Amino acid sequence: MTETAVCGSSDSSPEEEKLKIRDISMDAEAHTKEGDTFYLITQRWWQDWLEYVNQNHANITNGGASSERSDSVSLSNLKRPPAIDNYDLINEATPEDSAVGMELRDTLVEGTDYILLPQDVWNQLYAWYGGGPTLARKVINSGISQTELAVEVYPLRLQLHLMPKGDNSIIRISKKETIGELHRRACEIFYLTSEQVWIWDYYGHRKHALMNNDMDKTLDDANIQMDQDILVEVVDSSNCGSISVQENGSADKEAYVLVEPSKSNFSIAGGLSASKGMSRNCNAESSQFQNITSPGKESDNTYGVSGVTTRGSSGGLTGLVNLGNTCFMNSAIQCLVHTPEFARYFREDYHKEINWQNPLGMVGELAMAFGDLLRKLWAPGRTPVAPRPFKTKLARFAPQFSGYNQHDSQELLAFLLDGLHEDLNRVKHKPYIKSRDADGRPDEEVADEYWANHIARNDSIIVDVCQGQYKSTLVCPVCNKISVTFDPFMYLSLPLQSTSTRTMTVTVFTCDGSALPSVCTVTVPKQGRCRDLIQAISNSCFSNSCCLKHNEKILLAEIRDHLIHRFLEDPLISLSSIKDDDHLAAYKIPKFVKNAKFLQLIHRQKEQETNKEYGTPLVWPVSCDEAITRGDIQSMVQTVLSPMLRTENMGHPDISDTNTSAPLLDSSQTKSSSEGCRDSNKADSVHRDGGKSKSATVPKLQLQLVDENNACIDLSVGEDKPVKLSSSSMSVFIYWSEQVLEKYDMHYLENLPEVFKYGPVTKKARTEPLSLYTCLEAFLREEPLVPEDMWYCPQCKEQRQASKKLDLWRLPEVLVIHLKRFSYSRSMKHKLETFVNFPIHDFDLTNYVAHKKNPRHQFYELYALINHYGGMGSGHYTAHIKLLDENRWYNFDDNHISPINEEEVKSAAAYVLFYRRMRTDDASVGNGARSSAGHNISSQK
């Protein structure tokens, strides 16, 4: 179970804390073994702690002052971190009574969202700081040799289906637990005896393998995957029959006859052989027991004519072990392995095409290493494969990828495609061919000549599948000489619009009751600070009706679980500490309040028998130098809430008719930064006009003040009694009854939009900041050459800064598109986080192909992509791949494979896209001209 403790204490100095944690970590690392416990801790808190304990070192490095905080905060004054707060790692949607307990968010990335701490390190930090919740995970053996240690951050989440009753339950269980343990827990959950229960691999809601026969096998060895369905079937022990539910809902007993292998080569009515040797991963020789359906029962066979199937027998769902920062390699390999043309080619006898003498190749060793790895990944079974032999070959021929540092997956992909091409080049002796300029000849003639010359020297499966041709036009700016060439390409590298800025959505609240809450979307520097966000909000408010008065300022706060998680008062707080899924509120407060403290107005609503936080808290600044009574606080609260007060003649405000601030709905409905805050002046005037008439009917609110000693003061009585203000902020709880809620329009406070949310992609251009088509158009746009890449004009006989225009001419069967997310400066490397809306189906390139005499429609479909998450130093690569036989998408995260919905494929992490040509009725020859050996690779639909 999780736990949360109050903040602990430590008498140690920051340096002493650092040394103690370092010593504990080194000792734990040296003795880590299977079964040890590690703990997740949020990266945000860990980074704060590192800055705290390293402040003395930073002071020495920076000459006693921090460049980050030099203008206001000295590093020597860094505050001790608060209690550990792991709640940003938790899925808030998890029901409190869930059988699986507190669930982690599904998309967490180690090094970006969390880090893993050994148990002794966690215990020490927990003793010092307290907090929580505690998120413990076990160390397991992984890899093909089962000798590599890994922390199982995400144990298997399995869906249990009880038949015939129809109950369902979700459990979490380690993949290293046995089928017997799964069987025991299923019986425990549904209150059954072990003799009553059969458990089935129920992938895709079809029976695949009876798991009772292999109770000692681990779930990992049985190839059970994340979010898989498991059928828990209650068996009638009197006649060993099973009760199954038919499509019409009626129950039908169906006897299963268990036949010994020596007596029969089949089983009856979809039953399985009792042989222990039979498993879902059996080979052709051992799978002698075919499932035959009794003719009399054919109409009742819910699972089809073939009875029990062996899912996954065709392979393709085998993961790759991370050997140490090799996720960049694993993701690229999986995309190539799942390219159907390559899968077919390397599973056949490709050795006859290896070019052993090519001086540009790797003597066939790279091709053979890749072919062996591909065959292992497509073999039946899904035990993860450790790609050590392949990495050894890779390091030998490409030293830049040696060692265990993180590398660019696209750079590796480019090397692999080029290296495999040279190893498999069918041309043993390359002829020398001199290319001629176009000189006014028709483009079709010149293009075919260039392509024929290319094929005469380069002819391989890689050329057949991945290579296309583009037209390059250079124009001399002096003599207007036009040079046209047609060059091959293996992939397209498309530029992205620079994202040095970031869009952030904030909800603005007034403290004087002068306006309704309004959503404000602004653009700020991506590496900016809170002062930049405050300035952007102020500018936006000045240009809109919800204007910021000369005597007002903005107070930012992060809202979490209907409470103020923190005030962002320090103008130097980095905006990178604010995540896209955070919720921000901006309170317009008076500038000049001496010795100001903040009253936090927190809403509570009764649910069942308890009061729970509700809505968005509000803020009211008060001066500690002035006396304040309970009645004053009552008036303050009424003033702040007055814009939401309904009047008898108004009813519910009609947002569309009055053009008032819109309800705080999904952030995808917010306007762009150019539109700023939403107009709320008409609503304000309506409220102000009706203020006097409705003042007599203002409902009495139940208020409770919590002072610094956690004492509760009822503010509804003794209005003249003074209130002693504490030195810190104080909380006032507003208890909402159903009767009082009816008098206020509280939807303005109910749902804060996220800082940034992509939301579902629609066809409206304004919700698609950048499309793949836009990137392609930027790639094909005419532009001058950079000064470092001047062109030698054959007519001027001088180097010229010519203009260059690219056009697509011949497209390949498989089109690889690289999104240029990484930009380089003299001393730094940046990642662009731009969300690119790329089509999954019907990627239409017809109008982008300059070869207009080819009537072929150019439609492509996405089947794989490489993702990159996180920053440059601690990023992580995964792959999304569609198994075409199943028509289903999977996430390949090293050795962890899980099914995903098609809607999850698109994200801002997309880095390299793999498209396959879609066959159409008017399809013509491959990519225009066959290679010299006559090889023409076709793709399946």
- The catalytic residues are 327, 876
Give 644's contacts (C-beta < 8 A, 6+ positions apart): 516, 744, 745, 746, 748, 749
Give the pairing of strands 829-831 and 518-525: unpaired
- Look up residue 59 and give its amino acid: N
Distances (CA, A) of 194 to 176, 237, 275, 666, 778: 21, 11, 20, 48, 64
DSSP string, 133-199: ---EEEEEEETTTT-EEEE-SS-EEEEEEEETT--EEEEEE-TTSBHHHHHHHHHHHHT--GGGEEE
Cβ–Cβ under 8 Å, residues 795 and 476? yes
Question: Phi, psi at residue 223, to the nearest 5°?
Answer: 65, 35
Do residues 329 and 387 make contact, with C-beta atoms less than 8 angstroms apart?
yes
Phi, psi of 735 (to 5 degrees): -95, 115
Residues 904, 890 contacting (CB under 8 angstroms): no
Cα distances from 484 to residues 441, 471, 792, 832, in angstroms, run: 10, 7, 14, 33
Only one residue has tokens 């057949």, namely 464
Contacts of 178 (CB under 8 A, 6+ apart): 215, 216, 217, 218, 219
Q: Which residue has the tokens 């880090």?
A: 115
Specify the pairing of strand 136-142 against strand 131-132: unpaired
Distance CA 727, CA 706 (A): 13
Task: Report the 10 Å Cβ neighbour count for 768.
Answer: 16
Phi, psi torsion values for 298, nearest 5 degrees: -55, -40
Angle at which helices 340-347 and 365-378 cross, to 10°: 100
Residue found by looking up tokens 């027991």 in the block = 289
Q: Which residue from 344, 371, 226 is spatially nearest to 898, judged by alpha carbons?
A: 226
Euclidean distance between CA atoms 374 and 584, whole angstroms: 48
Long-range contacts of 802-806 (CB under 8 A, 24+ apart): 802/474, 802/475, 802/476, 802/477, 803/474, 803/475, 803/477, 804/472, 804/473, 804/474, 805/472, 805/473, 805/475, 805/780, 805/781, 806/470, 806/471, 806/472, 806/473, 806/779, 806/780
Backbone phi, psi, residue 772, to 5°: -65, -35
Strand partners, 730: 599
The H or E element that residue 231 is part of is: strand 229-236
CA–CA distance, 229 with 161 (Å, rounded to integer): 7
User: Is residue 721 classed as helix, strand or coil in its secondary structure?
Assistant: coil
Cβ proximity of 790 and 799 under 8 Å: yes
